[in-house]
Chains A and B, each alone.
Chain A
Amino acid sequence: MCLAIPGKIIELDKKKQNATVDYGSGTKRKANVSLVQVKIGDYVLVHAGFAIQVLDEKEALETLALFREMLSLQEEER
């Protein structure tokens, strides 16, 4: 139920209410984007037909590096 799928906004209507979201592997679907502020190219999490949050691309790309850093800091403390 709380499953949300990440996808990239590839089309956006003028009122910025509805968008086409590309989920990769050729899967594209319409989503309501009225609950978020988005532009074309943004990554969003889509739940039950609505984008519920914009994904921070920089944070997403740096996630693993951040984890590694946290672990090594902990090792140093030992």
Chain B
Amino acid sequence: MFSLRDKQLADDIISQITKAKVHLRFMHVCGTHQDTLVKHGLDALLQRCGIEIGQGPGCPVCVTTPKEIEEILLLAKHGKTIATFGDMTRVPGVSSSLQQMKTEGCDVRTVYSIEDALILAEKHKGKEIVFMAVGFETTAPTTASVLLRDPPLNFSVLCCHRLIPPALQAILQMGELKIDGFIEPGHVSTIIGTKPYEFISRKYQVPQVIAGFEPLDLLMAVWMLVRQIQRGKAVVENEYVRAVKQQGNKKAQHVMQQVFEPMDVKWRGFPMIPRSGLRLRKKYEPYDARKKYEDELQKIAKEEFVEPTGCLCGDVLRGLISSKQCPLFGRECTPENPVGPCMVSSEGNCSIQYRYTKK
């Protein structure tokens, strides 16, 4: 569609980064960025220039908590029709996974869009359809848009949407890792724009660059971060200007505002992160699966669920270890038999690492 490949330009960027003679660690929070980095060998290339880049909590399926998985499994067990994105069905919970429950007779549907789940509800008025809504700011407006259309009352949403900027702040506040710069997710940014990241640069003096998903986008973003550091700057820059506008997508922000309000939620591997999750506003309670099926979910309301034994997805998501440092990687934990969600999701660090390097 648009040609964004140019070897000479890539060589020039790498040459300038090498000349800078730096030793820096950057974090990104996007599975698609990780895919580009590993698929094209950019992670290894940049490492030779003194730049380490790791993926933080940037995979919506991966950061979903064991508790949320148990909630959806319980609703499936109680006869609801569960609709969700493909990767979500394979995430192992304590007792089972949605895919496993499907083989045992539960009604689990994989959908490409929340609109497919809505069509199911319209077609099957006798069934209770629960859409497990995962995703960051990129996906949340799609959920909001459907709820604004007065869907039938046999449709509800188990809301697991999360917000990126509060998670970035949590990473810095936890202080487990020295981070010299963030590469921000391009598609989250198409919705929220550049402003919601600014407080991070101001408060923690960390440079940030919003990046697209072509190899050259990521190389350029790294170059821009290095340039900021050399100049002693810490601001938000936008490399992905062809898609990200400073103000973001106002229409999408507005529908999100109408339907959701922020709430404190846990992320896998993280403690409670203030105002990092979304819940449905009171007006949309009839579509809130947690309210609608409160009695059925009561059984596990106070229970805490732990991650699978030996699984280090939490450490991977906080950027503390690489997938290959997990003793289960490629042995007990493979894409065919995943132990943790980072090996399930196509956006998960372990799954990407396995896909391109474990042959």
Contacts and interface: CB of A to CB of B under 8 A. Distances in A.
Interface of A: 1-4, 6-8, 24, 32, 34-37, 43, 45, 47-50, 52-53, 55-56, 59-61, 63-64, 66-68, 70-71, 74-75
A43 to B, nearest CB: 7
Interface residues on B, range: 35 or more
B243 A2 contact: no
A61 B138 CA distance: 24
A67 to B, nearest CB: 5
B313 to A, nearest CB: 16
Interface stretch (B93-101, B111-119, B293-301, B332-340): B111-119
B145 A32 contact: yes
Contacts of A63: 2, 4, 216, 241-242
Nearest to B12: A71
Contacts of B3: 64
Of B4, B135, B142, B223, most buried by chain A (CB within 10 Å of CB) is B142
A36 B60 contact: no
B251 interface: yes
B187 interface: yes
18 contacts: A1-B134, A1-B345, A2-B139, A4-B138, A35-B142, A45-B243, A48-B113, A48-B139, A49-B114, A52-B191, A53-B243, A53-B249, A55-B242, A56-B241, A67-B9, A67-B216, A67-B220, A74-B227
Contact of A48 (B4, B30, B112, B249): B112
Interface of B: 1-4, 6, 9, 12-13, 16, 30-32, 58-61, 85, 87, 112-116, 134-136, 138-139, 141-142, 145, 185, 187-188, 190-191, 216, 220, 223, 227, 241-245, 249, 251-252, 255, 345, 347
Contact of A37 (B60, B138, B251): B251
Contact of B249 (A2, A32, A35, A75): A35
A67 B13 CA distance: 9
A34 B13 CA distance: 39
Nearest to B3: A64
A34 B146 CA distance: 10
Contacts of A64: 3-4, 6, 9, 216
A2 B347 contact: yes
Contacts of B59: 1
Contacts of A7: 1
Given A3-B347, A64-B6, 18 more contacts: A1-B138, A2-B32, A2-B58, A2-B135, A2-B347, A34-B251, A35-B141, A48-B142, A49-B114, A52-B138, A52-B141, A52-B191, A53-B190, A60-B242, A63-B242, A64-B4, A67-B220, A71-B12
